[in-house]
Chains A and B, each alone.
Chain A
Amino acid sequence: MSSLSQRPQAPVVGLAVPHESARAHATGQALYTDDIAQRTANTLTAWPVQSPHAHARVRSIEAGAALAVQGVVRVLTAADVPGINDAGIKGDEPLFPAEAMFRGHAVAWVLGEDQAAARAGAAAVAVDWEPLPSIISLAEAIEAGSFQGVARTVRRGDAGAGLATAHLVVSGTTECSGQEHFYLETQAALAVVDEGGQVFVQSSTQHPSEAQEILAQVLGLASHDITVQSLRMGGGFGGKEMQSHAYAAVAALGTLLTGRPVRVRLNRTLDMTMTGKRHGFLMDWEAGFAEDGRLLALKAQLTSDGGWCLDMSEAVMARALCHVDNAYYIPDIELRGRIAHSNKTSQTAFRGFGGPQGMLLVEDILGRSAPLLGIAPEELRRRNFYSEGQSTPYGMPVRDAGRITGIWEQLLERSDFAVRRREVDDFNAAHQNRKRGLAATPVKFGISFNLIAFNQAGALVHVYKDGSVLINHGGTEMGQGLHTKMLQVAATALGLPLSSIRLAPTRTDKVPNTSATAASSGSDLNGGAVKDACGQILARLAPVAGAMMGVPAGDVRFSRGIVTGLGVAGPGVPFADVVRQAYLQRVQLWAAGHYRTEGLHWNPETMQGEPFKYFACGAAVAEVEVDGFTGAYTQRRTDIIHDAGDSLSPMVDIGQIEGGYVQGVGWLTLEDLRWDDSGGPNRGMLLTQSASTYKLPSFSEMPEVFNVHLLEHAVEEGAVYGSKAVGEPPLMLAFAAREALRDAVGAFGPAVRSTTLASPATPEAVFWAVHSASDAAARGHANGGTGHTPGTPAPEPESGQPQPAAVRP
């Protein structure tokens, strides 16, 4: 066992403790960025001037009328930027654009004494627009050849040859919608400038170091002139990895120009119309199967909707291409990925980061093909699982491949799958208007940033003379429980109770050059760094303690706040006494820790290498019930076994799994982003720009029975205390719910028929799928066999999914 993964006696990691801020959350005492702004006197509020066009040149901006509004202090435009007018890292993201690239794009900001003044001022700013042609839908972008970034291909073997030899070839199109993050706390920043011209920005951000760099770029300052703090976020989900920087930049520019504190807090409408979302994808594919159901070949073209600027779209596409395989071995494969350029918000990171879209493709293919192969979907999936010795299409060996099959078998047994399959079939036979569906799907998700440099982290651990400990690390807290885990790691590493450790807010002047808290990597990276710092301190304390107890340093043990020596009788020495003695001996009582993930290599040109430290695995079984009259459905039961390694914090990890699952169910079944792509006056408008029109899962979407278990004895050698990352992978367990819906829809149709289902599978989409299925049943398509073409014309006007199935013998 590696020293990184090894746990000492009585570790604090592994204990199921509540979130470290739970009591502050529940009492309203926990502060968020705008709560701090409310407590800051003399603060100005910024409000954007938004484009009413999907694409338009700014001929001029006339601010006179705005400045005449009572309470308006200043109007910020491109002319005010002392540095570079760009809030991104790719040089394509002007903070004050000369050309509005999407409807809602901010071209100027107004500072007012309060929100009402700033908002009234923004309404009074006169912009002379020159409307330009726009591209809204993916289809329009493809038609116009409107792309951005570099197209990439993952290739192994010869997909064409593989398809030619297949027993059955199925082809189709799979389209999925984007997803709004809908973190409950919208984007927010508060900036103040001090007497020396240093700018201090509190930002609701997942990436304080990058915020610092971008503020330096915009303000024309050096990084040491700027400090960024991220106290906590009211949710991030990737939406505050990069998209938060522009708002921090506006606040920072405002404070620099006025000398007063400036706050930006988007209201929900602004947040939804201005910030990026999960990428929608359009995927054309052709898959070849052997007679026994083995996937032989897959050829696919993936097109993502990147929106108006590049943001992280290339990395999202890379991860999508690296996750099309999910848990399945596909020998001959060719996956092409390209990014459309459209006049929409710039789509960005969102929990899973392309992985969900890539995995949706293969799960959709398997779900649609299983009936054509005459194989039960769960059996078809099992037959295609990776086995030991096989590699991914991008050349990475799938170590611990047996873990997927192991989880699968455990889960099917634990969820009584076989018994419930019969119960569901019996129910469906007895009910004409209601049908139930049952399905199982696996998850295999690669952990590490594809960008190798991001796979490092820092920490700063202080031990004070009284034995109390203050830790800093580079990760940010967005609800995922990172700080809770870091407290547990520090307590474990120092052999102290949790009560001895305190955690200070994440800020760039404590730990510099940090990576985004993203890619599920927060605990792995920062945990490694915290452990390193604690280890350095213990290495210095051990000789002091050894001398106190008359044993060699190597025989000193730190546990539960007591220091003992091997073979030394008695209760041991309190940690604080050792610390005090060390201080008197002039021993350094603090340490900076660093961690880098070993063993990664990746060639972004060839899309080959080992970009991941390991894979996180899991599987879910879902049961749903569909009302044939309306297409409405309920989530009856979900069972999950997920691999979080040896969990650092089980309550936190279970929370991540459940929350990720329900968020994934939201993406796949409920959350319905609609953009106006008509030629009308609202072209380019996000039609679902509020909580009343964009519905998140609520209590009614939680599975009535929800059994979540962590995989036991799951130590991961390559990560801190044997744990695994858990932030993103569970989102993709939600495919089980989508496949269960497909199963239920299929029960309205003939015995053997491929069922297509739109994504999101809203009640309306499910209704039309049921309609097709019942139609097929009524028209006597129950002819069975594997060679038929399900040629029922799709009546669903919104499914976006023509029926698949070019089938060759």
Chain B
Amino acid sequence: MDNNELLAGTDPAFTVNGAPRQFGPGPANTTALDWLRSNGLTGAKEGCAEGECGACAILVAQPDRHGGTAWTAVNSCLIPMASLDGQELLTAEGLGTPGSLHPVQEAMAGAGGSQCGYCTPGFVCSMAAEYYRPDRGAPAQRPADSGAAQPSETGPNGFDLHALSGNLCRCTGYRPIRDAAFSLGRPPAVKPDGDPLAARCGSPAPALRTTLLERGDGVFVRAATLEQAASLLAANPGAVLVAGSTDWGVEVTIRARRAPLAIAIDRIPELDAIDVREDEIEIGAAVPLSEIERVLGARVPLLGQLIPQFASRLIRNRATLGGNLGTASPIGDSPPALLALDARLILASAAGERTVPLSEFFTGYRSTVRAADELIKSVLIPMPLAGLTAFHKVAKRRFDDISSVAAAFALTLDGGRLTRVRIGLGGVAATPLRARATEDALAGRPWTRETAEAAAAVLETEGTPMDDHRASARYRSAMLANALLKLHADSTQKQEEQS
């Protein structure tokens, strides 16, 4: 590894529950959860080790993009502890003690929100993040899903239940937890006797450090610049790129893999920006999905529909488009939407940059045109956007599940006629794909029930779906056809309601 340009390796340091701590001995791949637990903070639990249950949730002080700090809930089981170098962490133990409960803990304990209690510290952390969310109170702006009636997911206090979508409880049935969440007031005003955690939000969050940790099992390094990352990658083509680490973390915990070299790319300015221009929107590959939702959720309705259905808030606070595209899973949720949006990717290496249409990016099961020395720098979404868009995800569970099938539609209508059609599919082939035959069947035709039905018959035959534990091939095909029929039914219903 060429680390001449990097700082000398130091022992990563953190502020944990207000106290300074050193990383100390231990492998470079140590997860935040394992580090906390082996350092006496056993409040966070391992329930699944893959970011599905939230028993490991903790809070990290992250920039709120307005110069302040947002207490952000994350899955500590997935994050390398080294990547939190310089950060401020809070666990359930740091929020309060049995003799002096935090308001969130008070609400949970008093409402019967815990039974076995194993998931409770994680719930408390997720709930605390929402408690401190500065814009809580304004009900979340989310495009109405066109499907079955949506239960009320926002409390009278503005609490968005999606904040808890990544936390599982096997005991309570959730009602008392919802009651606890919906009963929370505002953090007390910042005064001498106010809430120091609320006060903390008023000043900047610590910056990510250019960390270098070299241990027997591997090396963790955070690059400061795109050039640095590219040259490291050029010299070490087998290196693992991590930003949120929500995908790689699962490899570490479930499959016991270890990264000889992990390069964190979450501090690179070009990868961490959202740039809205007249002709296109550029989204940095390492911007967390929660941030994309905040900035673009209303501006790009398809993303506004996609992101709340993408895993859980805990995951979205860390997960990135670069990761979801780079891992090239056929059941990733962002590719269908980005395919429908006609997105292009900018790939960067030490040799320079190139732009690739997303529809040409995937080459096979979990393989792409990205060369070993390239990283995904950003995603480009051309403007203007299509007028009629929809993201249809079919899964067993509504909150936080992996798609059996996902279909994204972007239809441009001119005088009732379809002038431009883009359809992205997931879960029906070895790669995400464009439904080109269906696009052809729709383009130029009037947006009528007959057109939709004829095209649905084509859509049903797209891809090569298979039988697995999530769904049968037959169901997947039927869901493709029905996604289009449902889109038509919903769009005409909306028209009727408007007229």
Contacts and interface: CB of A to CB of B under 8 A. Distances in A.
Given A184-B55, A699-B399, A31 B42 contact: yes
A695 interface: yes
A346 interface: no
A688 B469 contact: yes
A674 B469 contact: yes
A662 B173 CA distance: 5
Interface centre among B49, B151, B170 (most CB of A within 10 A): B170
A658 interface: yes
B50 A25 contact: no
Chain B, interface residues (CB within 8 Å), range = 35 or more
A788 B40 CA distance: 68
B472 A433 contact: no
A120 B109 CA distance: 41
A184 B114 CA distance: 12
A119 B118 contact: no
Given A38-B37, A268-B48, A702-B178, A630 B168 contact: no
A732 B295 CA distance: 45
Contacts of B53: 184, 691
Contacts of A662: 172-174
A39 B474 CA distance: 52
Contact of B149 (A22, A34, A636, A706): A636
A701 B178 CA distance: 12
B470 A693 contact: yes
B468 A35 contact: no
A655 B472 contact: no
Interface in B440-499: 468-472, 474-475, 478-479, 482-483, 485-486, 489
Given A634-B148, A797-B474, A29 B396 contact: no
A521 B117 CA distance: 21
Nearest to B256: A119
Given A116-B27, A629-B482, A692-B52, A655 B171 contact: yes
Interface stretch (B89-97, B184-192, B279-287, B360-368): B89-97
B110 interface: yes
Contacts of A478: 116
Chain A, interface residues (CB within 8 Å), range = 35 or more
A417 interface: no
A701 B397 contact: yes
Contacts of A481: 115
A25 B165 CA distance: 20
B218 interface: no
Interface in A703-744: 704, 706, 708
Contacts of B97: 27, 29
Interface string A631-675: 011101000000000000001101100111111000000101010
Interface stretch (B5-13, B119-127, B202-210): B119-127
B475 A267 contact: no
Contacts, number: 276
A198 B472 CA distance: 55
Contacts of A23: 98, 101, 105, 109
B108 interface: yes
B129 interface: no
A286 interface: no
B189 to A, nearest CB: 24
A261 to B, nearest CB: 15
Interface string B38-51: 10111111111110
Contacts of B55: 184
Interface stretch (A209-217, A232-240, A391-399, A582-590): A232-240
B397 A695 contact: yes
A32 B98 contact: no
Contacts of A30: 117
Interface centre among B44, B124, B174, B178 (most CB of A within 10 A): B174
19 contacts: A19-B114, A22-B108, A25-B108, A26-B120, A28-B120, A39-B42, A181-B170, A182-B170, A234-B118, A235-B171, A434-B149, A632-B148, A658-B173, A691-B52, A692-B402, A699-B178, A700-B398, A702-B174, A706-B173
Given A687-B468, A695-B396, A699-B153, 14 more contacts: A22-B117, A25-B114, A25-B117, A27-B124, A32-B42, A32-B45, A116-B217, A119-B256, A184-B116, A185-B118, A186-B47, A651-B112, A654-B112, A690-B50
